[in-house]
Amino acid sequence: MHVVRHPDPDAFIAAAAPMAARGEASASPFAGWAHSMKRAPPAVDERVYLATYGDCGAAIQREDGPLFMGQSDPVAAAAFADDIVRDWPGLQGVVGSLAACEEFARRWKASTGRVHSLRAHLRQHALAAVADVPAAPGAPRIADEVDLPWLIDGQVAFIIEAGIPDSVERIRTWLPKRVARGDYWIWDDGVPAAFAGFNDAAPDFARIAPVYTEPGHRGRGYATALVAAISRELLARGKRRLFLTTDVANPTSNAIYARIGFVAETEEFHFDLIDKQA
């Protein structure tokens, strides 16, 4: 077997389909990102990597983000490392099962001398029906252009708090596009208190992210009520299942999503790839 790079998103979706048998939540970014590229094609000079390795591996990477491998086998992870290092030796990080990430990191160190550092232990969740959740004061609404300054500030606060590699410049570029599509909702209790986004580009599922409540408004059930409301709406639109990712180190978010009906499916890890320190 060898790594196959797919310039056509549909070809990648078909080739990566066997990965769903290892966990639909872990495999959902493959189809979700590819469908997003069909809906909004990347710029000609944008870094895009869609690759598969037989039936036992798939990988996606865009711009300066990490490489996502989901539940790919270690042998596939090694092959992806050998393939992508030729073009992007400065890759920021890798996300996937522990065995796959460890094998990728071992191969990466052999090729570049760079080592890995654990950024986060992640958990993938799936939902098919929304449970009853306590009511919260206020109501959900779809974000609009007027909300952009508040949302941008909140998104920046979110990536800092969650330790997500991103930049203010990139947020200012992509967030208005998502708001224009209606992909962001706000929980409003006299003032905006929490927000949540989602990606519904795939025909039969959606992924919810990000979810953030301003520090001064926490503990009032806003995020729970908002994610439950969005989940009901997406299922009503015909989505078969919904997915999201949590940080295992954040018991609050894991408890919130369990109350809504999300069920933990697979464990993943995010390794940073860094220069070896003296």
Domain of 204: which CATH number?
3.40.630.30
Residue 224 domain flag: yes
Q: Does 76 lie in the same domain as 150?
A: no
Q: Does 90 lie in the same domain as 7?
A: yes
Q: Say what the pTM is.
A: 0.93
Q: Does 67 lie in the same domain as 143?
A: no
Q: Does 163 lie in the same domain as 89?
A: no
Q: Does 113 lie in the same domain as 138?
A: no
Q: Does 90 lie in the same domain as 142?
A: no
pLDDT tens, N- to C-terminus, the chain (278 residues):
899 999 999 999 999 999 999 999 999 999 999 999 999 898 888 899 999 999 999 999 998 899 999 999 999 999 999 999 999 999 999 999 999 999 999 999 999 999 999 999 999 999 999 999 999 999 999 999 999 999 999 999 999 888 888 888 889 999 999 999 999 999 999 999 999 999 999 999 999 999 999 999 999 999 999 999 999 999 999 999 999 999 999 998 899 999 999 999 999 999 999 998 64
Q: Does 229 lie in the same domain as 147?
A: yes
pLDDT for 178-230, tens place per residue? 999 999 999 999 999 999 999 999 999 999 999 999 999 999 999 999 999 99
Q: Does 103 lie in the same domain as 213?
A: no
Residue 217 domain flag: yes
SS (H, E, C) the chain: CCEEECCCHHHHHHHHHHHHHHCHHHHHHHHHHHHHHHHCCCCCCCCEEEEEECCCCEEEEECCCCEEEECCCHHHHHHHHHHHCCCCCCCCEEEECHHHHHHHHHHHHHHHCCEEEEEEEEEEEEECCCCCCCCCCCEEEECCHHHHHHHHHHHHHHHHHHCCCCCHHHHHHHHHHHHHHCCEEEEECCCEEEEEEEECCCCCEEEEEEEEECHHHCCCCHHHHHHHHHHHHHHHCCCCEEEEEEECCCHHHHHHHHHHCCEEEEEEEEEEEECCCC
Residue 265 domain flag: no
How many folded domains does the chain comprise?
2
Residue 191: domain span: 130-260
Q: Does 72 lie in the same domain as 38?
A: yes
Residue 157 domain flag: yes
Residue 67 domain flag: yes
Q: Does 106 lie in the same domain as 13?
A: yes
